[in-house]
Structure formats: structure tokens, C-alpha cells
Chain A
Amino acid sequence: AQTVTQSQPEMSVQEAETVTLSCTYDTSENNYYLFWYKQPPSRQMILVIRQEAYKQQNATENRFSVNFQKAAKSFSLKISDSQLGDTAMYFCAFMKIGGDKLTFGTGTRLAVRP
């Protein structure tokens, strides 16, 4: 079974600054996906970024980038130029390749201060 750990329950960042959210996972699989999802208050879960484990290059999506360390089973999310709209709960998630279920961490609540 896979496990996903997010060790930072809450974080805070000043608008326009950079913040990094941590995620570690445990699996015996070799081929899998890792995701970061964002869930704003009372709103739906939105995909932020996806990483395929077989790719060495770290995924980027505009202000969002990841640091994927496969050997260390680490998958952190960096948010640059933080905006007020980034305030949300962020979930790290693991999925085996092949249409399997997502396994989520417990989330990190991020507050962006004006």
C-alpha cells in the first residue's frame, strides 16, 4: 500500500514571496504519477501540477514547479510570486500508472498574506 505524508499542516507566506510545500511518499512501485491538487475554501479540488515518475525533468506550470526526488521519495511544490488567490488547502497525491485510485496526504493549509 502507498502512503503520502505532508508534514506541514499550515503555512503562511507574504504576497509576492515564494513558498515551498513538502510531501514524501512511500511505495514499492516504479511507475506512478504524483500530483498536487488545490482546494480553495468551500470550492472544488483543482489540479495544480502532475509529475510522471519516469521523467527526470521536474514539472512546471507557470508559477508552480515541483522538486521531484525519486530516490528520496520526495515531491515538493514551489509557488513563486504568491497571490491572494493561492490561499487554499494543498494536497499531494500518488497514483499508480494504469487508472488506479489516488492516495492523498492530509494536506497543507496555505494562507497568503496581503
Chain B
Amino acid sequence: DTGVSQDPRHKITKRGQNVTFRCDPISEHNRLYWYRQTLGQGPEFLTYFQNEAQLEKSRLLSDRFSAERPKGSFSTLEIQRTEQGDSAMYLCASSDSGTHWVTRETQYFGPGTRLLVL
């Protein structure tokens, strides 16, 4: 059973460019979450999916951010017209809604994508 994977692991971009990150959840996990973590802080929720449906979006997710999970498997997070304030670690997590009693609803995290906007 492979864990959550994210690609790329690091991204450096210039202000104003668009970037896209990908997350592959643990297989059979129907829920997928995106968080943002700035240096020295705890992760902050951005959005989450159950299967392909996007169920909640944070106020932090401005119009420049969009996330998709087209077939209920992998997800992408796109940031348009990047700003220096977007520099952060973007974390993806997945969970299962009830198949396994012991681990259900526990979120497992990927390694993150570290974004630096110059």
C-alpha cells in the first residue's frame, strides 16, 4: 500500500505565472484534502473532495486557486497569477470514510509541494 504522493516536490516560479500541483491519494481513499503550511505554522485547510465532488472551500482559497478531482482519484491544485504571498508548502492528505474501522476518517499526508514565488 503506497502512501500519498505529490508532484512536484519543489517549484520555483516567477510572480504572475501559473502553477499546477498534483496529488495521488492512497488507493481506495475516497476523501482528499488540500492544506497550506507557511514556515513555523500549522497547516491551514484549503479544500476537500469526497470522490469527485468538492464539498468545502476555505476563505483562503481565492479566485486564483482552483482544485479538481475529475475521476475521484488524483487531484490537481492550480494557482493562477502567482503572488509572493503564495509561497508556502502545499500539503495533500487522504482518508477513507468508513471501510476500515481502525483508521477511518484519519487523514494521511503526502510529502508536500514547496512553492517559492520570486
Residues of chain A touching chain B, judged by Cβ–Cβ distance below 8 Å, are 4, 33, 35, 37, 43-47, 50, 91, 93, 95, 97-107
- Establish whether residues B106 and A35, one from each chain, have CB atoms under 8 Å apart when the complex forms: yes
- Establish whether residues A99 and B50, one from each chain, have CB atoms under 8 Å apart when the complex forms: yes
Residues of chain B touching chain A, judged by Cβ–Cβ distance below 8 Å, are 31, 33, 35, 40-45, 48, 50, 55-56, 58, 91, 93, 95, 97, 105-112
Q: How far is the CA of A99 from the CA of B55 in the complex (A)?
A: 10
- Establish whether residues B43 and A50, one from each chain, have CB atoms under 8 Å apart when the complex forms: no
Q: How far is the CA of A62 from the CA of B44 in the complex (A)?
A: 29
Q: How far is the CA of A45 from the CA of B42 in the complex (A)?
A: 11
B54 to chain A, nearest CB (A): 13
- Establish whether residues A103 and B45, one from each chain, have CB atoms under 8 Å apart when the complex forms: yes
- Establish whether residues B91 and A102, one from each chain, have CB atoms under 8 Å apart when the complex forms: no
- Chain B residues whose C-beta falls within 8 Å of the C-beta of A47 in the assembled complex: 106-108
- Establish whether residues B95 and A44, one from each chain, have CB atoms under 8 Å apart when the complex forms: no
- Establish whether residues B56 and A101, one from each chain, have CB atoms under 8 Å apart when the complex forms: yes
| Supplied contacts A44-B112, A95-B105, A104-B44, 4 more A-B pairs, CB within 8 Å | A4-B42, A45-B93, A99-B31, A102-B107
Among the interface residues B35, B40, B42, B50, which one has the most CB atoms of the partner chain A within 10 A? B42
